[in-house]
């Protein structure tokens, strides 16, 4: 999940989950990018049913703040930390602070970041994102940064793969995109 | 779970200084490199935490609310560092006794009624005060250095205390594999609380050239 300049958020995820401890069956599940409200988005890993229970709409004078959405996740993830296993990234746009990315890792802390990665393949791409990320990227740069990061992770991580689902979040709303398996960015290979 | 490493504290003539690096580790991964592990409690008190960061955020939330509620009372009183330390001791011991500890080791530093305060509380509810304090690896690596300085000169100036802390942070960065070269310093005096950061230590690796066997 990346935050662009004029407050554009690019969020992406792959679509696989593995069943059992052997990890050799993949289920192409519809989505792990869930819409929380018309604007803030959540990208959850692991416990899939959890991300379906959490989205709810909040009636306020203004659309909910990204911080608020993230805090709701944090409250639940911290309170039930012994019972839950979920690493969450909440990204969205609000009128006060524009585009924002909040990480709620396992354990239930909450921190705002310029960009965030998580999930099983994320370990392989920390170096890539640290080297490539620049603050103030354009919408296209953010989307390709996100797609490239995911493609690299999917290449190396046995538990990741399939297609990339991208979402660009702005003041105007959310625009989804899919990068299919045969269209993925390619890098060096033997 | 995301954890923080050592917190250091040193008393000086007219106040206290505490320091902690800005890293949240996820096992061996240096995951969050720009988080603050120090909180300002009120104008007399600061608190630094090592251990679980989510539990520190929870403590911060509870303490911030306590301070707000006290402000609303409007009785002219503010919590002293000793009072915060005492409360925290009981709170941490209570959680440990319910077999659900707050997985933190906390250093509380403050200046109140002309006296410096430096206290320690851990997840078991063990609590004590000392002119120098360190949690985690700091207890093994930094505490001996801090005590050696104070043995020679029991009362330090603010600058001497700061220099000692900086020297200790450098050594911790060299030797603690879960440390990071970016830290915050909080100084409490009668003037109030000042949190400086992010700071970094100057490192000297010349010794590497003297080591045989890696040519």
Per-residue pLDDT reduced to its tens digit, B36-60: 999 999 999 999 999 999 999 999 9
Question: Out of B26, B29, B58, whose CB is closest to A78?
Answer: B58
Is the bond preceding residue B100 a cis peptide, omega within 30 degrees?
no
A163 compared with B142, residue with greater pLDDT = B142
Residue A43 reports pLDDT greater than 90: no
Locate tokens 């379906």: which residue?
Answer: A52
Burial B107-139 (b: 16+ CB within 10 A, else e): bbbbbbeeebbbbbbbbebebeebbbbbbbbbe
Q: Residues 10..69 of B with a Cβ closer than 8 Å to A: which?
A: 24, 26, 29, 31-32, 35, 52-54, 56-58
State the pLDDT confidence band at B208, using cuts at 50, 70 and 90: confident
Chain B residues with CB under 8 Å of A126 CB are 29
State the pLDDT confidence band at A54, using cuts at 50, 70 and 90: very low
A121 — contact with chain B (CB < 8 Å)?
no
pTM: 0.86
Structure confidence at residue A148 (pLDDT): 95
Mind spelling out the 3-state secondary structure of B159-185?
HHHHHHHHHHHHHHHHHCCCCCCCEEE
Q: Residues 74..93 of A with a Cβ closer than 8 Å to B: which?
A: 78, 81
> Does A109 sit within 8 Å of B57, measured CB to CB?
yes
Q: How far apart are CA B119 and CA B16, in angstroms?
A: 11
Structure confidence at residue B135 (pLDDT): 98
Of the candidates B8, B9, B105, B18, which has an alpha carbon nearest to the alpha carbon of residue B55? B105
State the pLDDT confidence band at A178, using cuts at 50, 70 and 90: very high
Three-state SS for A129?
helix
Locate tokens 């985690």: which residue?
Answer: B136
Q: How far apart are CA B21 and CA B172, in angstroms?
A: 10
Q: How far apart are CA A186 and CA A182, in angstroms?
A: 10
Q: Check: CB of residue A100 under 8 Å from CB of residue A112.
A: yes
Q: Check: CB of residue B182 under 8 Å from CB of residue B38.
A: no
Q: How far apart are CA A98 and CA A15, in angstroms?
A: 28
Residue A111 reports pLDDT greater than 70: yes
Q: How far apart are CA B69 and CA B76, in angstroms?
A: 12
- Predicted-complex ipTM score: 0.86
Q: Check: CB of residue A108 under 8 Å from CB of residue A79.
A: yes
Question: Out of B1, B29, B57, whose CB is closest to A110?
Answer: B57
Structure confidence at residue B9 (pLDDT): 98
Residue B139 reports pLDDT greater than 50: yes
Mutate to test the interface with A, among B2, B61, B103 (most CBs of A within 10 A): B2
Residue A30 reports pLDDT greater than 80: no
């Amino acid at each position: 999940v990346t935050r662009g300049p004029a407050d554009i958020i690019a969020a992406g995820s792959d679509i696989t989950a593995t069943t059992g401890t052997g990890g050799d069956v993949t289920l192409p599940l519809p989505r792990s990018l869930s819409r929380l409200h018309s604007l803030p988005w959540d990208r959850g890993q692991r416990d899939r049913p959890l991300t379906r229970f959490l989205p709810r709409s909040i009636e306020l004078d203004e659309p909910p703040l990204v911080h608020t959405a993230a805090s709701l996740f944090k409250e639940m993830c911290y309170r039930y930390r012994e019972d839950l296993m979920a690493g969450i990234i909440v990204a969205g746009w609000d009128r006060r602070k524009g585009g924002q990315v909040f990480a709620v890792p396992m354990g239930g802390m909450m921190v705002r970041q310029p960009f965030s990665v998580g999930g099983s393949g994320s370990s392989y791409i920390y170096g890539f994102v640290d080297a490539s990320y620049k603050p103030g990227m354009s919408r296209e740069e953010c989307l390709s940064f996100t797609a490239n990061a995911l493609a690299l992770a999917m290449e190396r991580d046995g538990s990741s793969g399939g297609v990339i689902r991208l979402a660009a979040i702005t003041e105007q709303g959310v625009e989804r995109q899919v990068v299919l398996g045969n269209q993925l960015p390619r890098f060096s290979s033997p | 779970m995301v954890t923080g490493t050592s917190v250091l504290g040193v008393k000086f003539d007219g106040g206290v200084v505490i320091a902690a690096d800005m890293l949240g580790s996820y096992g061996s991964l240096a995951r969050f490199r720009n988080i603050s592990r120090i909180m300002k409690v009120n104008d007399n008190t600061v608190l630094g935490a090592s251990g679980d960061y989510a539990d520190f955020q929870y403590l911060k939330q509870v303490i911030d609310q306590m301070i707000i509620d006290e402000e609303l009372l409007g009785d002219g009183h503010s919590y002293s560092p000793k009072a915060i330390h005492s409360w925290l001791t009981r709170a941490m011991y209570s959680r440990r006794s319910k077999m659900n500890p707050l997985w933190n080791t906390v250093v509380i530093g403050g200046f109140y009624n002309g006296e410096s305060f430096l206290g320690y509380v851990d997840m078991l509810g063990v609590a004590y005060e000392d002119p120098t304090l360190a949690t985690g690896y700091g207890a093994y690596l930094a505490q001996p250095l801090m005590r050696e300085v104070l043995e020679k000169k029991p009362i330090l100036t603010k600058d001497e205390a700061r220099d000692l802390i900086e020297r200790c942070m450098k050594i911790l960065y060299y030797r603690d594999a879960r440390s990071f070269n970016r830290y915050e310093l909080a100084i409490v005096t009668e003037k109030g609380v000042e949190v400086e950061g992010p700071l970094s230590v100057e490192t000297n690796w010349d010794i590497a050239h003297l080591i045989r066997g890696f040519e």
